[in-house]
Structure 1
Amino acid sequence: MSISSNDTLQEPWIYDDPERFLAPGDVLEPGELPPPFDLADIEASGDAHSAAMNELEGINARARVLIADEYAGIASVLRDAAACPDPWVGPDPTLDAAWLDPQGRSVAAVRAERRNIAVRAAALELSVRLGMSENTVRTRATQADTLRERCPKIWNAFRSGRVNERNASTAAQQAATLPARATDAWAKFDELLTGSAQTLAPGKFRVRARVVRERVHPEHIDERHNRANEERNVWFQPEADGMASFTVLATADKVIAVQRYADAYARQLRGQEGDERTLAQLRTDIVLDLIARGSTTETGTWSARASVAVTVPVMTLLERDDEPATLDGYGPIDTETARRLAGDAPSWVRILTHPVTGTVLDVDRTTYRVPKALRRWLEVRDQVCTGPGCMRSARDCDVDHRLDWQYGGKTSDTNLGPLCEPHHVLKTKSKWALYRDEFTGARWWVTPTSLTVPVEPPPF
């Protein structure tokens, strides 16, 4: 497309410097327009791209400021909840001169618990309102407080949009691991990293922050390592497409030894005729075989068995339907795996759903203790904790009486549901309340600030 001298100008700025579109040596007479040109010439000149880049830089800076404001706001709400728990947990009973704690705790202990519960109740409500996990809310509040106290220079740069969120988070994580009273180390850490936080990409800044933290830390690394080793752990994370990740946190020497063994063994197996697996696939298979069966050419054999539930629609099991089965704690799995687990593995608990309704008949009990069969049904029905946004497996939760047993609540599926321990405590000791419509079965939470939050349906 081209524009002639008779066309209406849609972009007036195009002619701000008309001579830049002339050939070398050409000159325009007064009032004369340049010869026709293509809009591609403007794009090729770089002006449009430069303007777009500048605009995006401005947007990014404003976004950084807003994100920092969010961090500061979250931290402020949680600090206020700790300072004034009443809106979250109700009036302070210790102010009554005749009050006696049923558990024999001191006034200080009860007030400390009230502050803790209030902060947790506020964090849960913020997670609902902001669409974040509770862990994210608590993490942002903690990092904001850490930066404000230990790294004021980085905090101010973050609040003004000169430091991105990832670098600010990294600085907070590293600063938080410095000793609580090492104020000199805080100041050095803040001073040495303020410039880098504004200029380095997140990956490089993460390495830089770790190096600076090691330099300014007043405690010897051997002592820190021994303490960190006490925190070793493993955890599981569901992934897409029937996959999952398994993470191990342990001493570096042991983790590296496992990695090198798996790599060396994988390279050895790769040379075998007929094995077309990649090195990455071989490493994975070796590590999983070693953990699951303990079977390698060098370590001998050991075995362990665990009971895991898989819910399989009966028509799928009979190969008359392809409705996905559900693996407890993970979600939908492929039908071939489900049939194999349901048919061949005696250590798996097999649960068949009704081919029409997919439910189990209601069971009512008149005792407080929840029978195993009823607990199993609740685990199948709800699958995860009924707390807002919580993904804790129902089998790892408490069974909560929605209406407390002491107030006439029955031990029945209509009055029971899984709640993880943290959410169970909030329901019992804060102003979070759980309700149920007896006609429709719908359940919902009401927050301390009167927000209604429907109980989310099972994720699978």
Structure 2
Amino acid sequence: MEFPAPPSERSHSTDAWSGMPRPGDGVLQSDADTAWAIALGLLDDDDPETDSGCASSHGPAALLDRLEESCAARHRVTAAEYDLIFRILQDAADDPDTWVGPDPTLDGLWHDPRGRTIAAVRRDRLDLAERAAVAEIAVRLRLAEQTVRTRGAQAAVLRERCARIWAAFTEGLVSERHAVETARLAATLPTEPASWEAFDTGAIERALRLSPARFATSARALRERVHAESLETRHCRARTDRGVWMTAELDGMATLTAFLPADRAAAAMNHLDRTARHLATAEGDDRTLAQLRADVFADLLVGAGQPSDAAADAPPATVDAAGQDSPQLATPRPTLRAAGTPTAPARPSVVVTIPALTLLDADDAPATLDGYGPIDLDTARRLAGEAPSWIRVLTHPVTGVPLALDRTTYRVPAALRRWLGISSPTCAFPGCGRPARDCDLDHLHAFSDGGTTADDNLDPECRHHHRMRHETRWAASRDPDTGDLAWTTPLGARIDADPPPF
């Protein structure tokens, strides 16, 4: 609903119809604010306090009341989103035909070319139906598939194990963070309804009184009290999830995260801290303790002899040059030796794409670090200068397609694979950021049906989306005029492929 703004210029000080003094701009703005709030459902138009003449309707107390209701409405809408995701995924499990087509095992002459049993095929159908539904939700809402899957699972946990928290969430009484933390903790409880009941009862009491951060701390302690398994048993199971991953940050920086047993993480942090404090005593070293810890951490992982400064802390590299525009840098992977044989510090693999004109100082187009994004040109030029060798891939001067490749073979030649890693650096499915080096190269037009092994008929697809394209109702096609790739969802929506990430 739109409300007209009051006139900015008036030729008369009285109303031409009633002869009464015209209301001032402040009163008109107050009336407009009240009408806006009523249109949004934040105020009741039958409430006498909404009268523009009542000063209390716009005082701090009234505004805080409206803020509380707005916040509760936001929580209710968020809970509804979780509920809808859960219901769509539940429907996919109950009726997979919509997502993967008819059940082939119902045909009396059916035979699985992969040798699977009927039970195995039906299990795969349910799994793929859920994957297809998750992907459709993700591309429509522009969310990560893992986010969709996580929200559906959290809603399922809350509905089954924490009915009180779920009810409070749907009524807008607790926030999304309260609900998510409750689901995360409740999902780790053993399958004993008594534990669920005790946790739900304690959690709702805390959630209605505590902020999300304080609630998280208190709820973790509550979980320990109601958990039936010993901490030792749970720790042994949790250790299997240990890992390390990198998250890209701004301005050529990144965060490296390690998920470790607490004792080893604490020991590692103590070692970094002791070494950093020792280096801080050196005369002339003006780095902060935080900087010293980061430099020590990098030196320990990258190897001795490398510069401590993060901007210069990169190992020597070999360089692959793809065409005339995009040199590609890559350090050799360490070779394996027999157990007990001393080895030199391993050099990590690094791939950097640098425009050739940038190397010649004729352009300032940024370089790209594989799996990260743009990096500063000084670092890129240094890596290129330290590269002991180059491998050149000749490309067509107009189309950029690698030349002298055999298109009549199914197996993708190394040069073409290298080119596709540059032109399509990630999985071709919308929203998927898995690097092309970890993907399958899928023939868009099947090779068995006459499709060629060429760059215009190949797209990198991670194994998950590769299976989904061939075993569900997801389909991909390329525009014959523009060459743009698009996907069609099981429900018929058309989704354009993402543009290149860098």
TM-score (norm 2): 0.79
Deviation string 1:237-279 (CA, Å, 9 cap, x unpaired) is 1111111111101100111111111112111211212111111
How far apart are residue 306 of structure 1 and its match? 3.6
Q: How does 1:166-181 map to 2 (within 5 A)?
A: 166-179=177-190, 181=191
Partner residue in 2 for 1:8 = 23
Task: Confirm or deny that 1:314 pairs with 2:330.
Answer: no
Q: What is the DSSP-based 3-state SS (H/G/I as helix, E as strand, rest coil) of the residue aligned with 1:273? A: coil
Q: What is the DSSP-based 3-state SS (H/G/I as helix, E as strand, rest coil) of the residue aligned with 1:199? A: coil
Task: Confirm or deny that 1:140 pairs with 2:155.
Answer: no
Aligned residues of 1:266 and 1:282 also touching (Cα < 8 A): yes
Pick aligned residue for 2:454 from 392, 397, 412 = 412
Aligned residues of 1:445 and 1:454 also touching (Cα < 8 A): yes
Aligned residues of 1:238 and 1:245 also touching (Cα < 8 A): yes
Task: Confirm or deny that 1:219 pairs with 2:243.
Answer: no
Aligned residues of 1:369 and 1:411 also touching (Cα < 8 A): yes
Residue type of the alignment partner of 2:27: E
How far apart are residue 196 of structure 1 and its match? 1.1
Aligned residues of 2:478 and 2:486 also touching (Cα < 8 A): yes
Partner residue in 1 for 2:484 = 442
Q: How does 1:248-327 map to 2 (within 5 A)?
A: 248-293=258-303, 302-327=344-369
Q: How does 1:31-46 map to 2 (within 5 A)?
A: none
Kindly tell me: are residues 337 and 238 of structure 1, through their superposed partners in 2, closer, same or farther at Cα, counting changes over 3 Å?
same
Kindly tell me: are residues 350 and 195 of structure 1, through their superposed partners in 2, closer, same or farther at Cα, counting changes over 3 Å?
farther
Instruction: Provide the rounded CA distance (Å) in 1 between the counterparts of 2:64 and 2:281.
Output: 51
Instruction: Provide the rounded CA distance (Å) in 2 between the counterparts of 1:354 and 1:371.
Output: 14
Instruction: Provide the rounded CA distance (Å) in 2 between the counterparts of 1:279 and 1:108.
Output: 59
Deviation string 1:32-84 (CA, Å, 9 cap, x unpaired) is xxxxxxxxxx8xx9963322222121111001000000000001000100111
Deviation string 1:152-192 (CA, Å, 9 cap, x unpaired) is 1100011100110011000000000111x221111111011
Residue type of the alignment partner of 1:189: F
Residue type of the alignment partner of 2:161: R
Q: How does 1:313-392 map to 2 (within 5 A)?
A: 313-346=355-388, 359-361=400-402, 363=405, 365-392=407-434
Deviation string 1:326-347 (CA, Å, 9 cap, x unpaired) is 1111111110011011110449
How far apart are residue 358 of structure 1 and its match? 9.4
Task: Confirm or deny that 1:397 pairs with 2:413.
Answer: no
* Residues 352-361 or 207-216, more deviating: 352-361
Pick aligned residue for 1:71 from 82, 85, 89 = 82
Pick aligned residue for 2:162 from 145, 151, 157 = 151
Aligned residues of 1:147 and 1:154 also touching (Cα < 8 A): yes
Kindly tell me: are residues 346 and 140 of structure 1, through their superposed partners in 2, closer, same or farther at Cα, counting changes over 3 Å?
farther
Kindly tell me: are residues 336 and 50 of structure 1, through their superposed partners in 2, closer, same or farther at Cα, counting changes over 3 Å?
same
Partner residue in 1 for 2:137 = 126
How far apart are residue 355 of structure 1 and its match? 13
Partner residue in 1 for 2:112 = 101
Partner residue in 2 for 1:210 = 220
Instruction: Provide the rounded CA distance (Å) in 1 between the counterparts of 2:69 and 2:147.
Output: 26
Q: What is the DSSP-based 3-state SS (H/G/I as helix, E as strand, rest coil) of the residue aligned with 1:78? A: helix
Aligned residues of 2:75 and 2:174 also touching (Cα < 8 A): yes
Kindly tell me: are residues 184 and 325 of structure 1, through their superposed partners in 2, closer, same or farther at Cα, counting changes over 3 Å?
same
Partner residue in 2 for 1:19 = none
Residue type of the alignment partner of 2:121: V
Kindly tell me: are residues 57 and 359 of structure 1, through their superposed partners in 2, closer, same or farther at Cα, counting changes over 3 Å?
farther
Kindly tell me: are residues 353 and 164 of structure 1, through their superposed partners in 2, closer, same or farther at Cα, counting changes over 3 Å?
farther
Aligned residues of 1:313 and 1:355 also touching (Cα < 8 A): no
Deviation string 1:109-168 (CA, Å, 9 cap, x unpaired) is 111100100100010010011121101100000000000001011000111001100110
Instruction: Provide the rounded CA distance (Å) in 2 between the counterparts of 1:117 and 1:147.
Output: 24
* Residues 65-74 or 92-101, more deviating: 92-101
Q: What is the DSSP-based 3-state SS (H/G/I as helix, E as strand, rest coil) of the residue aligned with 2:487? A: strand
Deviation string 1:11-42 (CA, Å, 9 cap, x unpaired) is 3999xxxxxxxxxxxxxxxxxxxxxxxxxxx8
* Residues 418-427 or 97-106, more deviating: 97-106
Q: What is the DSSP-based 3-state SS (H/G/I as helix, E as strand, rest coil) of the residue aligned with 2:500? A: coil
Aligned residues of 2:393 and 2:402 also touching (Cα < 8 A): no
How far apart are residue 230 of structure 1 and its match? 1.8
Kindly tell me: are residues 437 and 265 of structure 1, through their superposed partners in 2, closer, same or farther at Cα, counting changes over 3 Å?
same
* Residues 360-369 or 302-311, more deviating: 360-369
Q: What is the DSSP-based 3-state SS (H/G/I as helix, E as strand, rest coil) of the residue aligned with 1:74? A: helix
Partner residue in 1 for 2:325 = none
Deviation string 1:261-304 (CA, Å, 9 cap, x unpaired) is 111211121121211111111111111110111579xxx99510
Aligned residues of 2:401 and 2:455 also touching (Cα < 8 A): no
Instruction: Provide the rounded CA distance (Å) in 2 between the counterparts of 1:345 and 1:150.
Output: 57
Residue type of the alignment partner of 1:153: R
How far apart are residue 426 of structure 1 and its match? 0.4
Which ranges of structure 1 fall in alignment gaps of 5 or more residues?
1-5, 15-41
Instruction: Provide the rounded CA distance (Å) in 2 between the counterparts of 1:219 and 1:229.
Output: 16
Kindly tell me: are residues 353 and 260 of structure 1, through their superposed partners in 2, closer, same or farther at Cα, counting changes over 3 Å?
farther
Which ranges of structure 2 fall in alignment gaps of 5 or more residues?
1-20, 31-54, 307-341
How far apart are residue 229 of structure 1 and its match? 1.1
Q: What is the DSSP-based 3-state SS (H/G/I as helix, E as strand, rest coil) of the residue aligned with 1:414? A: helix
Aligned residues of 1:312 and 1:352 also touching (Cα < 8 A): no
Task: Confirm or deny that 1:245 pairs with 2:245.
Answer: no
Task: Confirm or deny that 1:453 pairs with 2:495.
Answer: yes
Aligned residues of 2:73 and 2:172 also touching (Cα < 8 A): yes
State how many pairs are aligned: 422
Kindly tell me: are residues 353 and 157 of structure 1, through their superposed partners in 2, closer, same or farther at Cα, counting changes over 3 Å?
farther
Kindly tell me: are residues 302 and 442 of structure 1, through their superposed partners in 2, closer, same or farther at Cα, counting changes over 3 Å?
same
How far apart are residue 88 of structure 1 and its match? 0.7
Kindly tell me: are residues 198 and 415 of structure 1, through their superposed partners in 2, closer, same or farther at Cα, counting changes over 3 Å?
same
Pick aligned residue for 2:95 from 79, 84, 105 = 84
Q: What is the DSSP-based 3-state SS (H/G/I as helix, E as strand, rest coil) of the residue aligned with 1:365? A: coil
Pick aligned residue for 1:164 from 175, 179, 184 = 175
Residue type of the alignment partner of 1:326: T
Aligned residues of 2:395 and 2:402 also touching (Cα < 8 A): no
Q: What is the DSSP-based 3-state SS (H/G/I as helix, E as strand, rest coil) of the residue aligned with 2:208? A: helix
Deviation string 1:406-431 (CA, Å, 9 cap, x unpaired) is 22221111110110111111011011
Residue type of the alignment partner of 2:23: T
Instruction: Provide the rounded CA distance (Å) in 1 between the counterparts of 2:213 and 2:395.
Output: 51
Residue type of the alignment partner of 1:79: Q
Kindly tell me: are residues 400 and 267 of structure 1, through their superposed partners in 2, closer, same or farther at Cα, counting changes over 3 Å?
same
Instruction: Provide the rounded CA distance (Å) in 2 between the counterparts of 1:287 and 1:295.
Output: 13
Instruction: Provide the rounded CA distance (Å) in 2 between the counterparts of 1:356 and 1:319.
Output: 21
Residue type of the alignment partner of 1:264: R
